[in-house]
Chains A and B, each alone.
Chain A
Amino acid sequence: MTGKPRSFQQIILALQGYWAEQGCAMMQPYDMEVGAGTFHPATTLRALGPNPWAAAYVQPSRRPTDGRYGENPNRLQHYYQYQVIIKPSPPDLQELYLGSLRAIGIDAALHDIRFVEDDWESPTLGAWGLGWEVWCDGMEVSQFTYFQQVGGHDCRPVSGELTYGLERLAMYVLGVDHVMDMPFNDPDAPIALTYGDVFRQTEQEYARWNFDVADTDTLLQHFKDAEAECARILDQVDTDPKTDRHIVMAHPAYDQAIKASHLFNLLDARGVISVTERQAYIGRVRALSKACADAFLRTAAGGHSPA
C-alpha cells in the first residue's frame, strides 16, 4: 500500500492483501450471528485435529449488550473483527503480525508496540489459550493467542490466532475520535460515506430491539430449540443410511451451538438472566460446543481417517 490509509475499508483491504500474500486462504464472514471472529468454524473447528490450516477473514460480530444507540465514540453492538488463524503456529508469527501493522500504516519505529500478557478464555467454547493483547501507544489493537484447548480438547498442533478490533484500530490509524465520523470509503469518492452513514441507523434499531423489544419468551424457546436440535443432529449414527457414507454432521450441529450462544447474548441484553443463571446458560452452550468439537474430530477435516 502506498501512503497512509484514508478509510476504514482501505485498512480492511490492506489486511486482506497482506495476509493473502502470507498464504492464508481468504475466507468470507460466516453467515450467522456470532459474538466474535473466533466463533467462525474456520477457527473454532479447524483449530481441532492434526490438519494444517491457514485462513483469514473479516467477521461481523454482535454483542447486544454493547449497543449504545450509535452515540458512544467506540461502543457498538455490531462491529467487525479481522481474524487470522494459522495451524501450526509459525515460529515467526509475531514478525508476521508486525508486518500486518506496517501494511496498514503503523510505523514500528515511531510507535510503541508492546505485547502485554492477556490470557484468552471462552467459557462458551470451552477454549483457552495464552498470549497477549497488543498495545500500540497504550491502546489495545489486537489479541494474539496460542490456542491450547478448544471444545475441551488439547490443540495438537497449536494454532496461532490473531484478532484485530477493526473499528478501534482504524480509528487510531485514521486519527478519528468518534467511530461514526470515520470515513468508510475514500473521503474523496464521489459518494463519500462515513461509518455513521452506514451504521448509525442500524445501531439505533438494534439497540432498541436488543434492550427493550426482543421477545424473551421467543428467544428462550429458540434457545431450547437450538439446544435440542444440536443434540439431535449429533445423536445420528456416523454412517448415513442413505448414501452409506461416513458423514458426521459436525458443522450443522455447530450452527445450532452458534445460535444458542447468540440467543443467550440476546437474553442477557434483555436483562432476564440472573447472575446465578448466567453460569448455567454458559455451561449449556459449552456442552454444545464440546459435543460439536467431539463430532468434528470424527470427520476428515478433523483428522479422522476411514478405518
Chain B
Amino acid sequence: MPDLLIELFSEEIPARMQAQACADLKKRVTDGLVEAGLTYASAAAFSTPRRLALSVEDLTAESRAVREERKGPKVGAPDKAVEGFARGAGVEVSALEVRDDKKGQVYFAVIERPGRTAEEIVAEVLEATIRNFPWPKSMRWGAGSLRWVRPLHSILCLLTDEEGARTVPLEVDGIAAGRETRGHRFMAPDAFSVNSFEDYEAKLKRAKVMLRAEERADMIWNEATNQAFALGLEVVEDRGLLAEVAGLVEWPVVLLGRIDNQFLDLPPEVLQTSMKEHQKFFSVRNPKTGRIERFVTVANIETADDGATILGGNQKVLSARLADAKFFWDNDLRVAREGMGPWLESLSEVTFHNKLGSQRDRIERIAALARELAPVTGADAIEAEEAARLAKADLSSEMVYEFPELQGLMGRYYAAEAGKSDAVAAAAQEHYQPLGPSDAVPTSPVSVTVALADKLDTLTGFWAIDEKPTGSKDPFALRRAALGVIRLVLENDLKLSLNEYFHSSFWWLLNEGRGNWFEEEPKVTELTSGDVEKQVFSVRAESLLTFFHDRLKVYLRDQGIRHDVIDACIAMPGNDDLALLVRRAKALQATLETDDGENLIQGFKRANNILTQAEEKDGVEYSFGADRKFAEEGAEVALFDALDAAQAEIDPAMAEQDFGTAMTAMAELRGPIDRFFTDVQVNAESTVVRRNRLNLLSRIRTICLSVADLTRLDG
C-alpha cells in the first residue's frame, strides 16, 4: 500500500495561521480520500514558514468498484419522470432495465462505478483542497486567479510504494505537481527531489529546514533556557510567543542579548511588552530580583560570525524602542506625581461613544455609582469614589497610547507614584476584571466597587441609548460586562438589588441629556413629572434585568443548575438580587435531587391541577378558609397538622432567606400529601367537605409557591 506525501511550497505564511492550516490540510485531504473510497492508516501534517506538508501512510492503491441498483418510476410513467430518474442515476434511458415488482413493471437503473486509482483520487482531492482552502485571509498574485495565503510556488505530490515513488499528475493554475522542493531560503536554496516522507524530512534537515513546529519550539525553548541558566537567569515563559516564533523560522538559532543598563529600571511588564510586541523577543529574568535583564531573539540563519552581526542589530533596534518607552515612562511619571490632572482633563476629549459622551463624562457617572455601591461592597465610599475617578487616567498616558495592552497596569503604577493608597492603585488595574469567563474576579472591596460601577455604567448606558446586543453582534462586549457583574456579585456574595442601580444610573444619564428614552412612547413629548421617567426607566430596567437573567442562566447551566429551576426562582420577587436568586436556585435544585423533593413536586402539581380545574369550573378562587373541623379522614387531619408544622418552619426561614431550611420543611410535606391523595377523595359528595378540601389544596399551593414558582418546573 502506497504512502502519500504532499508539500505546498509558498512565500512566507503568517505564523499565526500555520497550526490551523495544518489541521485544515489534513482534514480536507483525508476526508476527500475517504469519501472517494480510499482508506489509510495514519496521517500527519506539518508547517514551516514556507511550506505546508502532509504525510499519509498506507493508503489503499485504488478504490473498490461499486455496483448500485436504484428503483425508479413505473413503466408508463411520464417521459419526463423517466428521463429525470435516468439523469439522476447517471445512466442513459436506454440502459434502464425493466423488472417485475409487486405492483407491476418498474424501471431499474444499474449504476456501475469502476474502481479508481489512488493517483486519480489524490489529484482530484488535492486540487479541490487547494482551490477551496479555508485561509482566514487569502490573496491573488501576478495575473492568475488562484487564491492562496501568499503566492504558491510549487506542489510536491508523491505516492511511494515497494516499486518506488511516482509523481501524481496534477496541475493547478499552471503549477504542475512534481517531486522537488527547496531547502532554507539562504543556507540551502537549491531544489532537490525526494522519494518518500522519510527522505523528505531527512533531506530538509540537511538543507537546514526543521519540518516539525514542535521540534523547532522545543529546540528554541531548551536552547534559550540553557543559555539563560548558564548566567543564573530564567526565561519568562510565553507559550503564545514560542509558537509564533517557531512559525517564523525554518532553522532556529537562539541568541541571548543584553538590555542596556539605562532601561533596566523600567517596569518589567513594559520591557516584556515592548520586546514581545515589537521584536518578538523572549524576556530573561533574574530570579533573585524579578527584574528583566536580558532578552532572547531567535534568528533563522547560522552565520560565519555566530550571529554577532544579527545580535548587534537586534540590540540596536531594541535600544531605540526602549528609548521611546523610557521617554514615555519618564514623561508619564512627571504627570503622575503631580496628581494626573492633565490626563483627567484630556479624557474629556476622548469619546467613549458619541451618544454616551466622553471618557470624562463616564468617569463622573462611575464615580457616583461607586459611591452608591460602597455600602454594599464594604468599601470606604470616599476611597471608592477616588479610585473610580483615577481608574481610567492612564488611558491618556503616553505609555498606554503606545501599548494599549498595558492599560490598567500602568494606571496602578502611576496611582502608586501619585501617592494614592494601595487599594486605589490596585483598583486602577483590577477594575477591568473579570475580562472573560476564566479571568480572576477581584476581591478587594475598592476594586470590586469600581469594577461593578464601570460595568453597570456601560450596560445602563447602552440600554439608555437602546443599543443592545443582537444575535451574534455585541460590539461593545455587553454580554461580557453582564457576566462580569454576575461573577463579581456571586463570587463576593454581595447583597445588592440591581434595579436600584439601574435607576440611579438612568437618572444621571437623563440629567446629562443622554439616552433616547421616549422614542418608544411618541406621545410623551414633555417631562411633566418624575412618574413618566420612572415608567420609562422601569421598562428599560426590566429589559436589562432580563438580559442579566439570560447571562445568569448560561453561567449557572455550566455549574449544573437546570434552566427550569432558574426560571422557577426568577419568577419570585427580589429577582434582581442575584446572590439571593442563586441561593434560592441552588436550594431548590438540591431539594429536587432528594427523593422527597422530587415526589413533593408531583404532589404539588397534582394539587395545583385539581385546584385549578375546580377553580375554573366553579368560577371561584379557593384561597382561604380550610377548616380542620370539616376534616373527615385521618390523612386529611394529618395534612392539616403537617401544613401547620411546615408553615411554622417555612415562614421564619423565608423571612431569614434561609432557603435550605424552608425547602427541607416543604419537602417533608411529601408523605402527608401523598397519603392525602391516596386516602381522600377531593370531590366529596358534600359541598362543604369538597370546598374545605379544595381550600386545603390551596394551602399546599400557597406554601409551596412561597418558596419558588414550582409551576415552572419541567416534568
A238 contact set on B, CB distance < 8 A: none
A117 touches B16 (CB 8 A): yes
Closest 5 pairs (CB-CB, A-B): A137-B313, A117-B14, A115-B12, A138-B314, A157-B143
Contact of B317 among A116, A131, A137, A148 (CB under 8 A): A137
A6 to B550, CA, bound (A): 69
A88 to B142, CA, bound (A): 4
B350 touches A275 (CB 8 A): yes
Contact of B248 among A74, A114, A129 (CB under 8 A): A114
A156 contact set on B, CB distance < 8 A: 140, 143
Asked if B594 CB lies within 8 Å of chain A CBs, one says no
What are some 30 contacts across the A-B interface (CB < 8 A)?
A73-B320, A74-B320, A89-B142, A91-B142, A91-B151, A108-B186, A109-B303, A110-B303, A110-B304, A110-B305, A111-B301, A111-B309, A111-B313, A112-B310, A113-B186, A114-B12, A116-B12, A116-B248, A117-B14, A130-B139, A131-B150, A137-B310, A137-B312, A137-B313, A137-B317, A146-B150, A158-B141, A172-B313, A177-B316, A274-B349
Contact of B309 among A110, A117, A148, A155 (CB under 8 A): A110
A146 contact set on B, CB distance < 8 A: 139-141, 150-151
In the complex, per-residue mask of B147-161: 1 if CB is within 8 Å of any chain A CB, else 0: 001110100000000
A68 to B318, CA, bound (A): 20
CB distance from A182 to the nearest CB of B (A): 14
A111 to B185, CA, bound (A): 13
CB distance from A301 to the nearest CB of B (A): 18
A88 touches B139 (CB 8 A): no
CB distance from A92 to the nearest CB of B (A): 9
CB distance from B298 to the nearest CB of A (A): 9
Q: Which residues of A (249-305) have their CB < 8 Å from a CB of B? A: 274-276
A109 to B12, CA, bound (A): 19
B313 touches A130 (CB 8 A): no
Asked if B117 CB lies within 8 Å of chain A CBs, one says no
A88 touches B320 (CB 8 A): no
A90 to B314, CA, bound (A): 31
Asked if A229 CB lies within 8 Å of chain B CBs, one says no
B300 touches A114 (CB 8 A): yes
Asked if A139 CB lies within 8 Å of chain B CBs, one says yes
B305 contact set on A, CB distance < 8 A: 110
Contact of A111 among B142, B310, B349 (CB under 8 A): B310
Asked if B351 CB lies within 8 Å of chain A CBs, one says yes
CB distance from A76 to the nearest CB of B (A): 14
A110 contact set on B, CB distance < 8 A: 303-305, 309-310
A231 contact set on B, CB distance < 8 A: none
Q: Which residues of A (154-173) have their CB < 8 Å from a CB of B? A: 155-158, 160, 172
List chain B positions with a Cβ less than 8 A from chain A.
11-12, 14-16, 49, 137-143, 149-151, 153, 186, 248, 279, 297, 299-301, 303-305, 307, 309-310, 312-314, 316-318, 320, 323, 349-351, 354
CB distance from A179 to the nearest CB of B (A): 11
A156 to B299, CA, bound (A): 36
Asked if A136 CB lies within 8 Å of chain B CBs, one says yes
A113 to B304, CA, bound (A): 15
Asked if A18 CB lies within 8 Å of chain B CBs, one says no
User: Which of A91, A130, A146 is packed against the most chain B CB atoms within 10 Å?
Assistant: A130
CB distance from B611 to the nearest CB of A (A): 61
B186 contact set on A, CB distance < 8 A: 108-109, 113
User: Which of A113, A116, A137, A155 is packed against the most chain B CB atoms within 10 Å?
Assistant: A137
Chain A interfacial residues counted at CB < 8 A: 38
A278 to B151, CA, bound (A): 35
A94 to B141, CA, bound (A): 13
B350 contact set on A, CB distance < 8 A: 275
B309 touches A137 (CB 8 A): yes
B143 contact set on A, CB distance < 8 A: 88, 156-158
B351 contact set on A, CB distance < 8 A: 274-276
A109 touches B304 (CB 8 A): yes
A275 to B346, CA, bound (A): 13
Contact of B139 among A91, A138, A139, A148 (CB under 8 A): A148
Report if A90-B16 is in contact (Cβ < 8 Å); known contacts: A114-B248, A137-B309, A275-B351: no
A158 contact set on B, CB distance < 8 A: 139-143
User: Which partner residue on chain B sits nearest A90 by CB separation?
Assistant: B142
B151 contact set on A, CB distance < 8 A: 89, 91, 146
A119 to B307, CA, bound (A): 29
Asked if A39 CB lies within 8 Å of chain B CBs, one says no
CB distance from A273 to the nearest CB of B (A): 11
B138 contact set on A, CB distance < 8 A: 130
CB distance from B142 to the nearest CB of A (A): 4
User: Which of A90, A138, A139 is packed against the most chain B CB atoms within 10 Å?
Assistant: A138
Contact of B150 among A109, A116, A130, A275 (CB under 8 A): A130
A111 contact set on B, CB distance < 8 A: 301, 303, 309-310, 313
User: Which partner residue on chain A sits nearest B327 by CB separation?
Assistant: A72
User: Which partner residue on chain A sits nearest B353 by CB separation?
Assistant: A276
B300 contact set on A, CB distance < 8 A: 112, 114
CB distance from B311 to the nearest CB of A (A): 8
A223 contact set on B, CB distance < 8 A: none
A73 to B322, CA, bound (A): 13
CB distance from A203 to the nearest CB of B (A): 18
A156 to B139, CA, bound (A): 12
User: Which partner residue on chain A sits nearest B142 by CB separation?
Assistant: A88
CB distance from B694 to the nearest CB of A (A): 66
B12 contact set on A, CB distance < 8 A: 114-117, 132
CB distance from B369 to the nearest CB of A (A): 25
A91 touches B153 (CB 8 A): yes
CB distance from A127 to the nearest CB of B (A): 13
A157 to B139, CA, bound (A): 12
A119 contact set on B, CB distance < 8 A: 137
B140 touches A139 (CB 8 A): no
Given A130-B139, A137-B317, output 20 extra A-B contacts at Cβ < 8 Å: A73-B323, A109-B186, A109-B304, A110-B309, A111-B309, A111-B313, A112-B310, A114-B248, A115-B11, A130-B137, A130-B138, A132-B12, A136-B313, A138-B317, A155-B140, A156-B140, A158-B140, A158-B141, A158-B142, A274-B349
A132 contact set on B, CB distance < 8 A: 12
CB distance from B263 to the nearest CB of A (A): 15
User: Which partner residue on chain A sits nearest B298 by CB separation?
Assistant: A112
A274 to B352, CA, bound (A): 12
A119 to B323, CA, bound (A): 27
A138 to B316, CA, bound (A): 9
Report if A117-B313 is in contact (Cβ < 8 Å); known contacts: A73-B320, A112-B301, A148-B140: no
A132 to B139, CA, bound (A): 13
CB distance from B273 to the nearest CB of A (A): 16
CB distance from B224 to the nearest CB of A (A): 16
A112 to B300, CA, bound (A): 6
A156 to B312, CA, bound (A): 42
CB distance from B110 to the nearest CB of A (A): 48
A215 to B138, CA, bound (A): 45
A129 to B137, CA, bound (A): 10
A101 to B50, CA, bound (A): 20
B349 contact set on A, CB distance < 8 A: 274-275
A129 contact set on B, CB distance < 8 A: 139
Contact of A138 among B14, B153, B318 (CB under 8 A): B318
CB distance from B146 to the nearest CB of A (A): 11
In the complex, per-residue mask of A25-68: 1 if CB is within 8 Å of any chain B CB, else 0: 00000000000000000000000000000000000000000000
B310 contact set on A, CB distance < 8 A: 110-112, 137-138
A172 contact set on B, CB distance < 8 A: 313
CB distance from A134 to the nearest CB of B (A): 10
A155 contact set on B, CB distance < 8 A: 140
A275 to B149, CA, bound (A): 34
B318 contact set on A, CB distance < 8 A: 138
B301 contact set on A, CB distance < 8 A: 109, 111-112
Report if A139-B142 is in contact (Cβ < 8 Å); known contacts: A109-B304, A276-B351: no
In the complex, per-residue mask of A131-151: 1 if CB is within 8 Å of any chain B CB, else 0: 110001111000000101000
A137 contact set on B, CB distance < 8 A: 309-310, 312-314, 317
